[in-house]
Amino acid sequence: MRFIKSILIALLAISSISSAHAQSLPGGFVYLRDIVPSIIQDIRYATANNFVGRPLAGYNAGECVVKREVGLRLKAVQQELAAQDLSLKMFDCYRPARASLDMVKWSQNGHESAAERRYNPKIPKTELFRLGYIASRSQHSTGAALDLTLVDLKADNSAKYDPSRAYADCTAPVKVRAPEGSVDMGTGYDCTDAKGHTAAPAITSEQRVWRRRLVAAMARQGFVNYSKEWWHFSLPGAGGAAYDFPIQPRRN
């Protein structure tokens, strides 16, 4: 019996080690929650609340994964914002390469639903790659690119996305487009429209102030904004090779 018990204990130990290994990250990558848990996360590609309308390949958990240096820089940004009763909110961080290929397949499937058109009201989805809104090889896959926004912690951010509602498109006024629990940047996240360009003239002065505030806070830690997307930032020099490991639930 002791022999059998010893074997069982050994098998349990091996199982535990294998499980831990399956949830570990490649060298240099970290879960953002382990660096700065106060940053709000709404990882949209792990849900159906995105332009594809379903979770993308490789998003097995709604967790922000980044290179460690990126996480430490975000911590500094968050500390600055906290003094102003503001917070960062992450929409996307590391993106498995397979997810970008999933986007390519989506763009070529030959149809567009009303929900999809909310994100690209004026541009056919077959044109999104040519125009630079989506890339088949994304910098997100290096762990050095991010999609994010600002949250006013003093505001009422309780409105939740309701998949049964027919929202206006992403360029519409904030009260009629899908809620994102963040400040009004003039468009929703992932809005493939000229109004989503960071320096777009067709937004209000208040929306422009919020965009500039976000860009400035990120720039002070070395992040660079992509001019066609007010929400997209990258950290030069922190990337490298693209990865394709799936995002798994974080161990507590």
In CATH, what number is assigned to the domain containing residue 230? 3.30.1380.10
Name which of 209, 154, 220, 215 is nearest 184 in CA terms.
Answer: 209
User: Does residue 241 lie within any of the structural domains?
Assistant: no
Predicted confidence at residue 59, as pLDDT, reads 98
User: Does residue 38 lie within any of the structural domains?
Assistant: yes
User: Does residue 246 lie within any of the structural domains?
Assistant: no
Q: Which domain holds residue 156?
A: 28-234
User: Does residue 40 lie within any of the structural domains?
Assistant: yes
DSSP code for 154: T
How many domains does the structure of the chain reveal? 1
CA torsion angle 207 152 56 236 (round to 10): 70
pTM: 0.88
Decide: 210 and 184 in contact? Cβ < 8 Å.
yes
Query: Quick check: 209 pLDDT over 60?
Result: yes
User: Does residue 242 lie within any of the structural domains?
Assistant: no
Predicted confidence at residue 126, as pLDDT, reads 82
pLDDT digits (tens, 9 = 90+) for 43-62: 999 999 999 999 999 999 99
Residues in contact with 251: Cβ distance below 8 Å, sequence separation at least 6, in sequence order = 20, 23
User: Does residue 252 lie within any of the structural domains?
Assistant: no
- Please state the φ and ψ torsions of residue 224, each to the nearest 5 degrees: -115, 135
User: Does residue 37 lie within any of the structural domains?
Assistant: yes
| β-pair type (86-92, 40-41) | parallel
What is the band of 23 on the pLDDT scale with cuts at 50, 70, 90?
low
pLDDT digits (tens, 9 = 90+) for 64-105: 999 999 999 999 999 999 999 999 999 999 999 999 999 989
pLDDT digits (tens, 9 = 90+) for 118-173: 999 988 888 887 877 777 788 999 999 999 999 999 999 999 999 999 999 999 99
User: Does residue 84 lie within any of the structural domains?
Assistant: yes
